[in-house]
Every structure is written in structure tokens, then in C-alpha cells.
Structure 1
Amino acid sequence: MSITSEPIAENAADTSGKRRRRKRDKTIHTGESRLAFLLLAPTLIMLTVIVGYPIIKAIYQSFLTDPGLDSSGFFNEGNSWNGLANYKHWLLQQCPGAGGVTESCPTGNLGAQFWSSVGITIGFTVVTVLLETIIGMCFALMMHRAFKGRALVRVAILIPWAIPTAVIAKLWIVIFDPQGVLNNVLGTDFAWTSESGPARAAIVIADVWKTTPFIALLILAGLQGISNEIYESAKVDGANAWQRFWRITLPLVKPALAVAVIFRSLDVLRMYDLPWILTQGANGTTTMSILVVRQLNSGLNSASALSTITFIIIFAIALGLVRLFNANIVERGTR
């Protein structure tokens, strides 16, 4: 009995020791969680007041009527319950025979203006982000190489991104003016912002020129994390330059590239200042943000509905991009 009881006693002691350690570790983690919550509480409260309250207030106002004349011709003070009427005006009304052009739609036809702005905004997003990604990748690969004067080249490439957008827009107004720099170089007198196609191209060119360095900087940070030994091994195995880029550089730089594309897409989807300064939203350049600001002058509650719809669209696109790149928004820890 004494021989068999000793292993049993040792096993019981080990089990009780493991239980005490697990209990102690759980207590430590619980204490750390409480401390982390207490440290984050002021920030969470501030975000709730500054961000959460305006969002909830805007959503509530989107279900109310705007001041104006009612069906009998009397003035209505507004702010009465309106249900989904504001959303129906933006989402369901169409403009017959307008061909999607905002300027040819009646003033009261909000739906045609909204869908036109959605198409214009998404078009700007696809074209600008695609061009910025391609050019930014080329710039990042160039800045990543070791050559004399590399620091000066990096600074020169980053200068457009450091200049405020309003200054950039004014600069490009001078360039695209009928008597501006571009026409003097080309020997023409074309008004670049007077028609739909050239006006949109002007906005794309200005935006790509300004924000390509942002993507190049993020990609460069990803390139600097790749060891040269990987490339040397690939060269020994006979991989050419294109194979090294496609099989090594692109997969390893994908996290940085995903962050760049997602951030820039969200930035273009809410673009306001650049197209407004260049064209004031005329000639088929009215983005969703410009439409929201215009609607604020007509009716706050209707503008709140439009802002809510815009937020949902941008959130859905952001979620789709995160799923496309398989990006982890929250890193799950394992113990």
C-alpha cells in the first residue's frame, strides 16, 4: 500500500499545483484586463461623446421632416416623424431621360443626383487607387535600391504628399487654366475643367500626383522588412527579376499594400476638397461628400439621411476590401 500511495500522492500534489497556478494566472489576467479597461475608459467615454452621439443624432434626424411648405401651401416647421421618406427620396427616385447626368435632373429629384454621385465617387476611387498603387510600387522599388543620392530622391518624392490639399488644388487650377502651364506646353487653349471627361481626368491627375507618395511610403516600409538573403537564394536557384518580384516581393509586401489600398480607398470615397476647389462639383464631378454639403443648405434632416447612406456604402466597401485582402483588423492572441 505504501508503494502505490506515493505516486498517487505525487499526482494529486501536481494536479493541485497546476490548479493553483491556473487560478493565479487567471487572477493576473483578470487584474490586467481591469487595469487596461480603466486606462482606456476615458478615451472610450470621449469617443462616445464626440463620435457616438453625433452619429446617433444624425440617424435620428434622418427620420424627421425638414422645414418647408406642406401640400396645402402652409409653412411647416419640420422635425416631425417622417419614417423612411428621406431615404426613399435618395434611393428610389429616378430622373427619366437624364442619362445619369446630375445637371439635367430636376432640383427636387434627389435620387438621380445621389446615384450619379455614387457612380462618380466609385469611378474616382477605382481609377485613382489603381494608378497610385502601380506608380507607388514603382517609386517604392526605386527608393528601396541603394544608390547615391537616395535620401534626396525620397524627400523629393514625398513633397507632394506633405503639401495641403487646398494648396495642391490651387496649383493645378493654374496648370489647367486655358492660359496655364499645360496649354503653354502643349500649344493649345483648351479649358480642361469645362467638360465632363477632361474635368474628371484633371481631378484624377491632381489626386494621383499628390497621394502616390503615401502609398509608395507604405510599400517601402514593407520592402525594408524583406531580407536580402531570400533574394540571394532565389538568384542561386535561377529565378529571374520578374519571378523574384512575383514570387517573393509581392506576397511579402502584401500586408503593407493592403493597408495602403484600404486607407486610400476610404480617403477617395470621402473626397471633397480637391474636386470642390477645382470644379465646384460641376461637369460631372459631384462626389458624395459634395452632395452632402450641398444638401445641408437645403435640409438638415434630409442631409442626415444622405450622410447615413453614404456611411453605410463606405463601410460596406471597406469591409469588402478587408475581406479581399484577408486583413486582420483585430489580432487574436493565443495562450
Structure 2
Amino acid sequence: MTGTDPARVPRRTLRTGATMPAIGLGTFGSDRYGPDEVAGAVSGALRAGYRLVDCAAVYGNEAQVGESLAGAFADGLDRDDVFVMTKVWNDAHEPADAVASVRRSLRDLRLDRLDAVFVHWPFPNHHPPKADTDARDPHARPYDHRAYLALWRALEGLVDEGVVGHLGTSNSTIPKLRLLLADARVPPSLHEMELHPSFQQEELFAFCREHGIQPVGYSPLGSPSRPERDRTPEDVVDTELPVVREIAAAHGIHPVLVCLKWAVQRGQVPIPFAVKQSQYEANLAAVVEDPLTPDEMEALRSAERGNRLIKGQVFLWPGAGSWHDLWDLDGTTRLLEGVPQC
């Protein structure tokens, strides 16, 4: 392949009127690949036509990704044509720490502004790398809207300063988003969440669309290459689902590409991670050619299995029995010192 013309890639319009590409390159992968290999994929992907790069402080590779971005801009790529996103990790929820985290990402990514900054998780709950999935963080706490709003206010200041274009939430729930939409001066423009055919999150997806929040989907392929330690027996591999394989056979393509076509045609922004040139080039090309039919899109609704994959060590604190305790709060509101906790 020789790459895809970026002008052919669909775009999403955010609440500010700015636009972003409908597919990007994820950079979460340094647990399996070295930071330099991930950075090499960023360089190659930009040459191939990608104009959206999803980063995060916790990925441990922003300095290397920054070198790739700087090289691409030095070679003539216009900074205004690339949408760069990062995230504030769980250990930086104090307002001053959040601001410092964003400024560190700016420095490491060699940028003078970020197009979007997300709060990676709605509650502070930090664990060392490769912690057991039942680990408890003695410093963690459940969601507290007052604390979250203080963090959000600090990020709003960076928007006022002009170094951040948009704010985003991530891994949140409808009750939390309702509170934030009611109280934020700068409302969230994006919400990053797990989205793939076997975990479509229709209610949350629809809520975001209704309230002007662009859904961004991580693990868009159902995370088939996840480490074995992160798997549970009931997990489903999306690319092995019969409906996905049948549609792939009808189009003569790999099942991975069916998942990406579905994501873009549905209206979300998938951010697949790949370091092999053939893979990230094929991923981008898939969303601009040979679309799925309306019948195929409807058939993929049957792939829903409630198959949440990201449910491990980041959710737990003392007193939380299991990750289920956290996600079971989706439809409830608890009161703690008179403040909704959800």
C-alpha cells in the first residue's frame, strides 16, 4: 500500500465547530512493544495518512512519540492538520498535579498546544505496572464529584490559556457525565470508552451523541492481543464472532477491518493500535472504501455480548469487593456528605 489521502477520511465535528478525523492511531502498547517501536509506528502512520494520534501520560512513550511528531512537522506536515490527544493519569487528580501532567505531556510531545486532554479515569486509583487484578490502592477513593470538578476546573484554565483545545472524559458513566454537564463551564467535547462489536454500550453511546459529546472507542477490535493475565474465561474475541467473520468473507477482508468499518460508520472514533506498517495502513484504508451495507450494520447489532474487557486492577480500592462493584454504580446515585456519588 502507498497510504491513504487524509482528505478521504471522514471527520467528526465537535461542539466547538472544530473537526477531527474519524479514525486515529492509538499508542497504548509499550507493555508489549518498546517506546521506540511505538514511535516508529507514529512516524509511519503519519506518512500513511493518519491525522489523529491518541496518547496518554501513563503509556510511558510520549517523549518518543514527540520525536516522531517533531520529525513529521519538520518534514512539512502542518501542525494544524494533526489532532493530538493525551490523558491525565490517576496519580494526578489533584488540580496542581493535573496541570503539571498536561505541561509535562506538552513538553514530551514537543507541542505548544494539545487538541484534547482527557481525564483517564473518573477516580484516582493508581497501581504499579503489572499489579494483580485484585490489588487495592490504600490512597484510592471512589468518585467524588467535588474533587472531580476541582480537577476539571484546573483543566478549564488550560483551555482559557490556549494550550488545550478540548476537554474529554474517559471511562465514565451516565450519572457522572450528567453531573459534569450540569457543573462544567467548559463541557466535555469527547468521551473515550471501550467500544467494539461485542460491547457496544448503546445507552452510553446514545447519551454522548445526544449531549454533543463525541464517542472515542478504544479496544475497537475487542483487544485480541491482550496479555493472557488480563483475560477471563468468558471474554469474547470479536474477530472470531460468526457474524463478523461472515461479513469479512463477503467483502474478502480480514475480520479486523469489519470491526473498524462498523465503528466509523456507526459514528464513533476508533483508535486501533498497530506497529506493523501493513496493519495500520490497512486499518486506515478500510474506512474510506467498500462500506458495510445497512443490512450488515444491522446484523452487527447481534454481536453485542456485554463483553467488557477492561475491568482489572485500576478499579479497586479498600472496601470495593470487585470490579463489578464499580460498574454497578452506573445507574445509581449514592450520597456521601450530601454530594451525589455515582
Which of structures 1 and 2 has the bigger CA Rg? Answer: 1
Greater helix proportion = 1
TM-score range, shorter chain: under 0.3
TM-score by length of 1: 0.23
